[in-house]
Chain A
Amino acid sequence: MPQNQSGTGITRRRMIGVTGAGVATTLLAGCGSGGTAETDSDGGTEESTDSGGGSGEQALMWEYGFPNTQGVEPVWRNTFEAKYEELAGEELTISRFAYEDLRQKFLTGARTGDPDAIEGTLSHFSEYLAAGHLAQLDDLANELDYFDGYIDNAIDAMRYQGDLYALPYEGNARAFFVRQDILDELGQDIPETVSDFHEVGRMINEEYDDVVAYHNCTKDGSVRAFQEFMSHIYQHTDNMYVPEGDSWSLNVEAETIGQVFDNWYYQMYAVDNPVADPDDLGTGWQTNDPGYINGNYAFIEGGTWIRNWTSGENINDSDTAQDILDNKTQIAHFPRGEGASKGTFLEIKPVMANAHSDQLEKAKTAVQAYTHPDVLSEGMAQDPEASGSAMTPVHEDVESTIDSENWEALTEIFETGRALAQVTWGPVREEFYTYMQQVAYGETDPYDAGEQFHSALQDLESEI
């Protein structure tokens, strides 16, 4: 009997062993556990969904552009759906994904034909294009009598080698958010040079106990951190990479990268008297944007989405936030280092059609409806949750929603914005995080890191 018991026990254990081995083998079926529940691009809501399959003959669209605040009427989304119905004579299915989920699912599954249309960011656009997932839209553009109304910068960003692969619906340029009231108290002007900025920043840190002069994103993997870095690169060059035959050529000097590292990371965190707070190292937009809105920082790098962000779980006090954004904030160009001029990262949001869709016409109609000037002016601009998105519209028929003198500079800054080239930016971003953190944490001299990063970027020329 004991033998039997023992035998049974071992068999059961062996079974468990096999089960365990089975579980272990699922490692190869994917290391994640469902969707990444948080995006790290511009901030805003965090959400993911696991649904998203097609629904018969209706077109399917994946997007993350519409606001999704519970209990609030989705003005923009309703306007879009009405426009699509008007153009296509039927409804369409919309699935909402966080950008990172949307990107992963589209890169791995676009060949199935789903979704028919997709909204995204410019870096996604480059990747989808390189993967051959995007349909050309020149024929659609030729049919649109309002096509010429899209601003040149935005349309140029949607082209690759002369062909059009997307239409734009939203644009924003990264700008310097300045607490004017603090500068007034200190009798200082908005700094135009980096050295003035460092000086004013250190003065603020000395004078104020509850405000830190500056914050930027330094978290590993933060897309926002990369965009901030690119803003400063665009102060020196129109494009980090330029086309050269079938490849790309690096268009920035190692010295310039070193200078950007020095001005915006080393001086911020790694020196003895830093402009930013070294205890904020490793944070992303989750600290940056609410930190400014709550009054913790005097300067940040931000965009239009911050305009109406006066409530929510990250905001300590809505009235204070409102006051800071309405009355105490001045938008300005970034301070410029040696040899730099006005320039910044330009975010243009594209809407694209899946080249593998078996209902391409409907996909193009979805693109048309999403980017239609009527939808942008009657939907996006009128939606209380999204009106910031229309502050710097990408179409001339859409009126800017800038309602404050302090924010008017956004229009001029928008004109100095440079969109990302159609490079697959993933490997560039990965290299950036390594060198940026080495500088910010004081591990490497900024100019040495600039040399090393420059060399790594050159090595990537043929891969991107």
Chain B
Amino acid sequence: MSTQSAGLSRYGEEFKTFLSETWLGYVMVIPATLILAVIIGYPILRGIQLAFYEASLLNPEQMQYIGLENFLRLLEDTTFQGALWRTILLTGIVVSLQYLLGLGLALVLREKVPGVEIFRSLSMVTWVIPVIVMVIIFRFLVQNGFGPVNIILGNLGMETSYWFGQRGPAFILVIIMHVWRNVPFYAIALLAGMTAIPKEQYEAARLDGAGALQRFRYVTLPQISTVSMIMIILHVTFTFKNFDIVYLSTGGGPLGSTEVLATYVYKQAFEQYALGYGASIGVVMLIIMLVFTVVYVQYESAE
């Protein structure tokens, strides 16, 4: 009995010490936590809840609980399946290209080439211009008749068209826009990572007889892995849920060939007024992104 009271008293003491040492920290975290709970937590929970209801945008108060029916409907929805496949394909291709090109650009920017400072400043232009401006530029470039791309193709005796209106090319153009927009951001982030690597490490590697490729493989790459991971996670998420690039350029067409999950959610929620069904697609997107993030982080941690 006395041993038990001694044990309890010890836990009590430890709890008091824990509180006395950390209460200030908790107090300081509470406001931010509350704000996050309201502006992020509530919409997420509300979205998840909606996925289990039949709810109309026009009469959202008249919700009817339907369990997993929305998710079962997704299994038979060929438009959803097509959009899911295109979203995964788009994300895979875009993030791979962005990373590879961004890495290449970062390596170039690291070198002391004449004019690199100007180029470094200019390279961020694509990232800062609004998406609508980018889409208008690309639309102009491939405009039928007078778009510069078509003028060049025409002069080369090749086929011309409004390429956003052609099935295969429209999807490729969406990929190009994503890549064009974000490569500089990758480059600047990776460059920051590279600049932080001590020069002595390269010197040591050189003394050990490492060539340029080996120095890149065993010195540069491992030390930009954290920034790489952040960039990849952020851009996988960004591309996976991106709406405006596709919606403004093709609207998901032609013939659904550029329809992605984000545009499909929009159409379900705002054109078909099917809030619940749209939310169920959002839940699927959330699960996929969570799984990706967890697996990727685990993989990186193991590495």
Residues of A within 8 A of B (CB): 9-10, 12-14, 16-17, 20-34, 36-38, 40, 46, 103-104, 107-108, 127, 130-132, 218-222, 277, 279-283, 286-287, 296, 424, 426-427, 429-430, 433-434, 437-438, 441, 443
Contacts and interface: CB of A to CB of B under 8 A. Distances in A.
Interface stretch (B9-17, B103-111, B229-237): B229-237
B145 to A, nearest CB: 7
B129 to A, nearest CB: 12
Contact of B297 (A17, A33, A219, A280): A17
Given A38-B132, A282-B165, A16 B229 contact: yes
Main secondary structure of the interface of B (DSSP, over half): helix
B48 interface: yes
A16 B233 CA distance: 9
Tell me which of B43, B162, B300 has the highest count of chain A C-beta atoms within 10 A of its own C-beta: B162
B57 interface: yes
Contacts of B203: none
Q: Which 5 residue pairs spanning A and B have beta carbons closest together?
A: A282-B165, A220-B253, A221-B251, A17-B297, A24-B289
Contacts of A218: 165, 254
A23 B241 CA distance: 11
Given A218-B254, A279-B160, A282-B166, 19 more contacts: A14-B301, A17-B293, A23-B234, A24-B286, A24-B292, A26-B44, A27-B237, A28-B47, A32-B262, A37-B132, A37-B244, A46-B132, A130-B59, A220-B251, A430-B272, A433-B251, A433-B253, A437-B253, A441-B255
Given A12-B226, A36-B248, A280-B144, A30 B270 contact: no
Contact of B252 (A40, A221, A429): A221
B70 interface: no
Contact of B301 (A13, A20, A281, A433): A13
A19 to B, nearest CB: 8
B130 interface: yes
Interface stretch (B93-101, B187-195, B207-215, B277-285): B277-285
Given A28-B44, A282-B164, A14 B273 contact: no
Contacts of A132: 59
26 contacts: A17-B293, A21-B294, A22-B40, A24-B290, A25-B44, A25-B286, A29-B43, A33-B242, A36-B247, A37-B130, A46-B132, A131-B57, A131-B58, A132-B59, A221-B252, A277-B144, A279-B161, A279-B165, A280-B165, A282-B254, A424-B58, A427-B271, A433-B253, A441-B254, A441-B255, A443-B255
A126 to B, nearest CB: 10
Contacts of B164: 282-283
Tell me which of B144, B242, B296 has the highest count of chain A C-beta atoms within 10 A of its own C-beta: B144
B120 interface: no
Given A12-B226, A219-B251, A221-B252, A31 B273 contact: no
A282 B170 contact: yes
Contacts of A281: 162, 165-166, 254
Given A31-B243, A37-B130, A282-B254, A21 B226 contact: no
Given A23-B234, A221-B247, A28 B273 contact: no
Nearest to A425: B271
B248 A38 contact: yes
Contact of A32 (B139, B253, B266): B266
A220 B254 contact: yes
A219 B250 contact: yes
A10 B145 CA distance: 55
A108 B290 contact: no
A427 B273 CA distance: 8
B124 to A, nearest CB: 18
A260 B132 CA distance: 33
Nearest to A437: B255
A104 B270 CA distance: 7
B283 A28 contact: yes
A213 to B, nearest CB: 14
B221 interface: no
B131 interface: yes
B143 interface: yes
Contacts of B301: 9-10, 13-14
B265 interface: yes
A280 B162 contact: yes
A46 B237 CA distance: 28
A287 B297 contact: no
A36 B255 contact: no
B86 interface: no
Given A25-B286, A46-B132, A221-B253, A427 B44 contact: no
A127 B58 contact: yes
Contacts of B296: 17, 20
A135 to B, nearest CB: 17
A151 to B, nearest CB: 29
A7 to B, nearest CB: 11
Contact of B162 (A14, A24, A287): A287
Given A25-B40, A38-B248, A282-B170, A31 B162 contact: no
A430 B271 contact: yes
Contact of B57 (A21, A24, A107, A429): A107
A131 B59 contact: yes
Contacts of B254: 218, 220, 281-282, 437, 441
Given A13-B226, A31-B266, A107 B58 contact: yes
B275 to A, nearest CB: 9
B255 A283 contact: no
A31 B286 contact: no
A12 to B, nearest CB: 7
Interface in B24-75: 40, 43-44, 47-48, 57-59
Given A279-B161, A282-B164, A37 B131 contact: yes
A277 B162 CA distance: 10
A219 B135 CA distance: 15
A426 B143 contact: no
Contact of A24 (B43, B237, B262, B266): B237
Tell me which of A30, A219, A220, A424 has the highest count of chain B C-beta atoms within 10 A of its own C-beta: A220
B243 A33 contact: yes
A351 to B, nearest CB: 20
Given A33-B131, A108-B57, A427-B272, A16 B297 contact: yes
Interface string B165-183: 1100010000000000000
Contacts of B255: 437-438, 441, 443
Nearest to B253: A220
B86 to A, nearest CB: 14
